[in-house]
Amino acid sequence: MDVRTVSPVIQAVKAFACALGALVFYARFKLPFALLLIAGNLVVVAVVAFEEIWPGGGASASALIFLCCGLAVFAVAMSYDLTDPERVTHRSA
């Protein structure tokens, strides 16, 4: 099936389900790379939701949503990183 023929709502639901799966994986194993999967899938959900709310918003609107998502992911990643300033736990990996 071609990706362009899949409904955006279905794409968002799949991305959200993947984010939930990665969250369960992180809750069980506490491996930091799972946070990348969570963040990436939530960005996909946000972009698809934005496109559904404002179809044809243009390149500048898409750039703005990616900027907001990037800043949000960066802020969460920095707050996570600052929880282990001594680099003594597995979170520093």
User: For residue 91, is it within any domain?
Assistant: no
User: For residue 55, is it within any domain?
Assistant: yes
In the predicted structure, residue 21 carries a pLDDT above the cut 90: yes
| Cα–Cα distance, 6 to 54 (Å, whole number) | 18
User: For residue 89, is it within any domain?
Assistant: no
Q: What separation in angstroms does the CA of 35 have from each of 12, 13, 40, 64?
A: 18, 18, 8, 23
Q: Which residues contact 61 (CB under 8 A, 6 or more apart)?
A: 50, 54
Look at residue 55 in the predicted model and tell me its pLDDT. Answer: 86
Mean pLDDT (whole number) for 20-43? 95
pLDDT one-digit tens code per residue, 64-80:
999 999 999 999 999 99
The whole domain housing 78 covers 3-83
Any idea what the Cα angle at residue 92 is, between residues 90 and 93, rounded to 5°? 75
Amino acid at 59: A
Assigned token pair, 8: 């955006």
If one counts the domains in the chain, the total is: 1
